[in-house]
Chains A and B, each alone.
Chain A
Amino acid sequence: MRLVARKSYIGEIPDTIQDFTEAFRKLPLALNLAFQDILARYRGSVIGPWWITVTSGALVLGIGINYGPLFGRPVSELLPYVAVGIVIWSFFASSISEGGEAFVAGGTMLRQSALPLPLFIIRCVTRNLINFGHQLVIIAAILLWFHIYPRIGSLWAVMGLIVLILNISWAALFLAIISARFRDIPQIVSAGLQFIFFLSPIFWVPNDQMARNPLVADNPFFFSVQSVREPLLQGTMPHQFFTILVPIAAVGWVATLLIYNQTRRRVVHYL
């Protein structure tokens, strides 16, 4: 290990690359930490992380059954829509809001070892993926109940999920960096996510008039959910996946890497 003073922005790039390769080389550690996080959180609980499934399930059934008449939609249409919507959204929202805490939570480790920063983002995203896995049961059960079976177009959902994880990862890294310095950010983010949840058609179905409103037609949060939901329910992928989500993933990653390259040495001093 050879550490030298920072020479220039460009001179820092090999170190940034090394941080990421090192983080992926230490993948077993990240996975174990994620697993341990879940163990610690639900230790002593009988059904453990399945409680998340129960909580989301209650929300899905509550909205899906009760709001059907309110929205003028049959339960058989609204419930699957809400089930996929809520499950994807809670994966998205919890990953992003926990992302802001990723470096702060790993503070004791970061202050006494050479562990690379991105490792703590992998830990955060994996932990949320494990939780998300437990919630897939809700989607599976409701789709089966209403006889919505997978077809060839449903495979688009895998693409949708991959791009969703890419977007979650850069956002979590970006938020972790600025949250280390500004401790208000995680609070602002969770308030913002709450607002976006109601603003975007996650659990309500936009009518034809609303569908042209930019808040629906160009809403990246809505399409992050929709790029998994539409393939599952209708077997098609909305074109906004290609025109909005893929470009956001590319631009988001480049911008976040540029910021990371600038701040990677400073983060540990803020913890």
Chain B
Amino acid sequence: MSYIHVDNLSLHFPIIGADSQSLKRHLKQVAIGGLLAKKSQNSSRPILVALRDVTFDLRAGDRLGLIGANGSGKTTLLRCLAGAYTPDRGVVEVEGRVASLLDLSIGIDASATGFENIRLRGLVAGLNSREIEAKADEIATFSGLGPFLAMPMKSYSSGMQARLAFATATSVGADILLIDEWIAVGDAEFRARAHDRLTAMVNNASILVLASHDQNLIRSLCNKVMRLDHGIASEVVPVAEMDDLMARPTPERKP
């Protein structure tokens, strides 16, 4: 049975400006004694706390909507759940096959055709060639792209790219689906079908985590909601209480 267990998760980013990323600056710091000493007195470079003590549990059938202002940590949390970022404190446990729709361009070669990109995405998602072969027709039909699938991806609009990405990610037999915002780029017809498919998947005991600013999208797809404020998470509440959750004051910002 798939589940997500996140306990006291904290994540820090080292902040590296374009300048300090160059070797010259680093060498200078090593070469000049004063700077080096100063650096070791201060606790090194500034650190961004992207997530702080986030705790929640999701079981099969849960559809969690993540809300919060820009920079509140929604995408970072999704990336942690996808396994791209490892925690600096705490535990992330994810049981089940994960499909992430965080960035439209994953594994995508713009000059390759739609079919080639289905194959690439399928491989990235962990399918083998035979499984992809078996699913390609279904993905093609669901995407509704028809003859465009034989054309290079660069001729697609972003909505068409989203269709292909969504069709592939939801066909790989994922137990857990992580979606960031952009599903909204699809047109009304596709959104309706996407909605049906997501509902079917979740009824089939999958878990959905969706980050969005669109409250209507969250209301229509999710049954639970969690708010993030500069890396601090609220508790998970039923989607009916979203308005109360939104109305809460922002938690105090402590360094």
Interface on A for B, CB 8 Å cutoff?
A: 1-6, 26, 28-29, 32-33, 36, 39-40, 43, 108-115, 181-185, 188, 265-266, 268-270
How near does chain B come to A37, taking the closest CB pair, in angstroms? Answer: 8
Which one, B16, B89, B95, B100, contacts A112 given CB within 8 A? Answer: B100
How near does chain B come to A9, taking the closest CB pair, in angstroms? Answer: 15
| 9-residue interface stretch from B117-125, B209-217, B226-234, B245-253 | B117-125
How long is the Cα–Cα vector from A3 to B79 in the complex, in angstroms?
Answer: 12
Whether B103 is near chain A, meaning CB under 8 Å from some CB there, is: yes
How near does chain B come to A102, taking the closest CB pair, in angstroms? Answer: 15
Q: Are B79 and A36 in contact (CB under 8 A)?
A: no
User: B16 contacts which chain A residues (CB < 8 A)?
Assistant: 181, 270
Interface on B for A, CB 8 Å cutoff?
A: 13-14, 16, 21-24, 26, 78-80, 82-95, 98, 100, 102-103, 105-107, 109, 111-112, 116, 119-120, 123-124, 126, 128-129
How near does chain A come to B17, taking the closest CB pair, in angstroms? Answer: 12
The closest CB in chain A to the CB of B109 belongs to A40
Which one, A3, A4, A108, A184, contacts B83 given CB within 8 A? Answer: A3
How near does chain A come to B81, taking the closest CB pair, in angstroms? Answer: 9
User: A40 contacts which chain B residues (CB < 8 A)?
Assistant: 109, 111-112
Q: Are A109 and B107 in contact (CB under 8 A)?
A: yes
Q: A1-B93, A36-B112, A182-B22 are in contact. Are A108 and B86 (CB under 8 A)?
A: no
How near does chain A come to B31, taking the closest CB pair, in angstroms? Answer: 15
Q: A108-B105, A113-B84, A114-B84 are in contact. Are A183 and B22 (CB under 8 A)?
A: yes
Q: A111-B84, A182-B21 are in contact. Are A3 and B26 (CB under 8 A)?
A: no
Q: In terms of DSSP, what is the predominant structure of the interface of chain B? A: mixed
In the complex, number of A-B residue pairs with CB atoms less than 8 Å apart = 105
Q: Are A32 and B120 in contact (CB under 8 A)?
A: yes
The closest CB in chain A to the CB of B50 belongs to A269
How long is the Cα–Cα vector from A111 to B26 in the complex, in angstroms?
Answer: 25
The closest CB in chain A to the CB of B152 belongs to A43
Q: A28-B128, A36-B112, A36-B120 are in contact. List 8 more A-B contacts (CB 8 A).
A: A3-B80, A33-B123, A43-B112, A109-B106, A111-B103, A181-B21, A182-B21, A188-B23
How near does chain B come to A36, taking the closest CB pair, in angstroms? Answer: 6
User: A2 contacts which chain B residues (CB < 8 A)?
Assistant: 91-94
Q: Are B21 and A112 in contact (CB under 8 A)?
A: no
Which one, B22, B26, B109, B124, contacts A29 given CB within 8 A? Answer: B124
List 28 A-B residue pairs with CB atoms under 8 Å apart, sorted by A's residue number.
A1-B95, A1-B98, A2-B91, A3-B83, A3-B86, A3-B93, A4-B87, A4-B90, A28-B123, A29-B124, A33-B123, A36-B112, A36-B116, A36-B120, A39-B109, A39-B112, A39-B116, A40-B112, A109-B107, A110-B84, A113-B84, A113-B106, A115-B124, A181-B21, A182-B22, A188-B23, A269-B13, A270-B21
Which one, A1, A4, A5, A36, contacts B94 given CB within 8 A? Answer: A1
User: A112 contacts which chain B residues (CB < 8 A)?
Assistant: 78-79, 82, 84, 100, 102-103, 106
Q: Are A114 and B116 in contact (CB under 8 A)?
A: no
How near does chain A come to B18, taking the closest CB pair, in angstroms? Answer: 9
Q: Are B86 and A265 in contact (CB under 8 A)?
A: yes
Q: Are A5 and B89 in contact (CB under 8 A)?
A: yes
User: A266 contacts which chain B residues (CB < 8 A)?
Assistant: 14
User: B123 contacts which chain A residues (CB < 8 A)?
Assistant: 28-29, 32-33
Q: A2-B92, A6-B86, A109-B124 are in contact. Are A32 and B103 (CB under 8 A)?
A: no
How long is the Cα–Cα vector from A113 to B123 in the complex, in angstroms?
Answer: 12
